[in-house]
Amino acid sequence: MPVNQAFDFIIVGAGSAGCVLANELSQDPNNSVLIIEAGPADNKLLIHMPGGVYSVYKDPSINWNYESEPEPALANRRIPLPRGRVLGGSSSINSMVYMRGHPQDYDNWADRYNLPIWSFDQCLPYFKKCESSDRGASDWRGAEGRLGVSQAKLENPLFDAFLEAGEQSGQGITEDPNGRKPEGLSRLDSTTRNGRRSSAATAHLKPVLTRPNLHLLTRALAHRILIEHGRATGIVLEHRGQVLTVHANREVLICCGAINSPQLLMISGIGPADHLGEHGIKPLHHLAGVGENLQDHLSVSVIHAARQPVTYHNVGNPVRKLLMGMQWLLTRRGFVASNIWEAGGHIRGHADVPYPNLQYHFSPIHARYDGLKIKLLNGYTSQLDQLRPRSRGSVRLRSGDPKDRPAVNFNYLQDPFDTRELVEAVRRMRELNAQNAFSPFRGAELEPGPDVTRDAEIEAFVRNTATTDYHPCGTCRMGRDDMAVLDQEMRVRGIDHLRVVDASAMPDIISGNLNAPVQMMALKIADLVLGRNPLPPLKAFFEFGQDRFGTSQPADFQIVST
């Protein structure tokens, strides 16, 4: 690439948001678009095998492999934080669970932070536009989008027991966690199509790389954003050992994720002035909120041994691995076509929450990790995430070197309320696993173990074992107050022609996995960047049914254009 080349739009980060934006902004042949990615192309076959997720999500060749600073409330453990450093970003290494979160999350954004364009009725059309669901088109689902979304299909009696236990326990079931009834247990959707991972790269970017106005540069690390007279004018980057400058005639869009986006802003002189000065960086624009408000879903697991050989403990056998791989190559079916976490859903941990605050992921696998190596045992795992934590952390610089890893402090369980909810999560999982539906399969409880019964003992278990579900967000949040980094169109406050479009823009974490919401957000922002009319809002009234705490909710729903 020639030095000083100019493009209309420069997108930094070819992850979930960047790939969507690259497709949308390059649809007009008059717009020249450059998208740069620090990692390599997504050429590894295991990326595209859904069952290969256990091999790729910590692969150092395609992963930043961050970790937190020692977390005081989690026994001073450093929590691993894999982040995709490959075409498609974390959508190329994640567990592919497709979950939009709860509608109330988006209405809370609109009301609490005065962000009216992010109410759920204005997000639902973009969710539908983005996806191609094998459930078919409906009031809730889209069938013509670029992102492949498939309902779980792997047959296993433990999945059936999980759903039956949901009914028996009163925790409830639902046919579609992204549909009219988002509360209850269900078979989940995954971002797969025809047995292959549908990453943001395969869905949005790679099909249009033949456009002459769209340019992709991999293994290109952004060093800093060029700021001239209060305007973003380009990017300084390193590619193949050469430092280059590329210019943006219209906009620079930062899509590096909740860890790397605030790092790039701060290295470029945008952020808390005192902190930048500590690292010898000249503050160009003071924004106190850059790197603040870090949130994540902390999760805890209950693991049982299985009395019958119904789990997938023997898939690590070399002969079986070969046969399953051949089956997938020939038919795109079988175990390798599954993301394994095929059941889950949303429940309430206590009666004082207005909508579900815990999310299940259930797997007929008991995996133990020794570094990057996995050992599979005959057991099954129930996992619950705390969906709306009150604790907040931060991302800070270690230095002004873009190659230096930032310091990530989640401050997990800083708020005692979060500890209470995870203790309740363990009790809810035990309640579910104690149901008759699991009786034919339920062996000994391996974790936390039958001797852990009192709240204090469960709390100690949580502090010693809880870990991330890999959903960091919030570090460049939207809003209108002094700590907001972005306005509701994700423009950096005080800097012209610069946006941050990724999970860092979320003011509060979504009650679910983040990949689907990030792609929706990017699709919506593309309309704003290009001055296109937004999609007409859809007013949604959801059915919540009745939970085990006796809280009645409206049973009727409707969607009408507004």
Task: Give the per-residue SS3 of 47-60.
Answer: HHCHHHHHHHCCCH
CB 294 within 8 A of CB 392: yes
Q: Which domains does the chain possess?
A: 6-540 (3.50.50.60)
Question: Per the structure block, which two tokens stand in for 219?
Answer: 């293994």
CA dist 517 and 98 (Å) reads 9
The list of the chain residues with pLDDT below 50 reads 550-562
CA dist 514 and 502 (Å) reads 10
Question: Per the structure block, which two tokens stand in for 460?
Answer: 């100690």
The residue among 250, 290, 292, 294 whose CA lies nearest residue 270 is: 290
Count CB atoms within 10 A of the CB of residue 219.
Answer: 14
Q: 448 preceded by cis ω (within 30°)?
A: yes
pTM of this structure: 0.95
Q: Looking at residue 388, what DSSP letter applies? A: S
CA dist 97 and 152 (Å) reads 10
What residue type is assigned to position 82 of the chain?
A: P
Q: Looking at residue 281, what DSSP letter applies? A: P
CB 166 within 8 A of CB 185: yes
CB 284 within 8 A of CB 272: no
**Helix residue spans in 307-444 (DSSP H):** 318-331, 416-433
Q: Coil, helix or strand for 35?
A: strand
Q: Which H or E run contains 530?
A: helix 515-530
Give residue 212's Cα distance to chain centre: 31
CB 356 within 8 A of CB 280: no
Q: Which residues contact 182 (CB under 8 A, 6 or more apart)?
A: 102, 103, 174, 346, 356, 542, 544
Helix axes 157-169, 416-433, angle to 10 degrees: 110
Q: Which H or E run contains 156?
A: none
pLDDT value at position 552?
36
pLDDT value at position 324?
80
pLDDT value at position 562?
30
CB 162 within 8 A of CB 362: yes
> Torsion angle of alpha carbons 306, 307, 310, 315, nearest 10°?
60
Please give the positions annotated as active site: 471
pLDDT value at position 556?
32
pLDDT value at position 553?
42
pLDDT value at position 327?
84
Give residue 530's Cα distance to chain centre: 26
Q: Which H or E run contains 446?
A: strand 442-447
The residue among 49, 41, 51 whose CA lies nearest residue 197 is: 49
CA dist 483 and 491 (Å) reads 14
Q: Looking at residue 78, what DSSP letter applies? A: P
CB 324 within 8 A of CB 338: no
Count CB atoms within 10 A of the CB of residue 193.
Answer: 18
CA dist 96 and 106 (Å) reads 22
Name the β-bridge partners of 84.
63
What residue type is assigned to position 294 of the chain?
A: L
Handedness of CA 389, 390, 396, 402 (dihedral sign): positive
**Helix residue spans in 219-278 (DSSP H):** 257-267, 273-278
Q: Coil, helix or strand for 177?
A: coil
Question: Per the structure block, which two tokens stand in for 232?
Answer: 């973003």
CA dist 544 and 541 (Å) reads 10
Backbone angles phi, psi at 168, to 5 degrees: -65, -35
pLDDT tens-digit profile of 107-165? 999 999 999 999 999 999 999 999 999 999 999 999 999 999 999 999 999 999 999 99
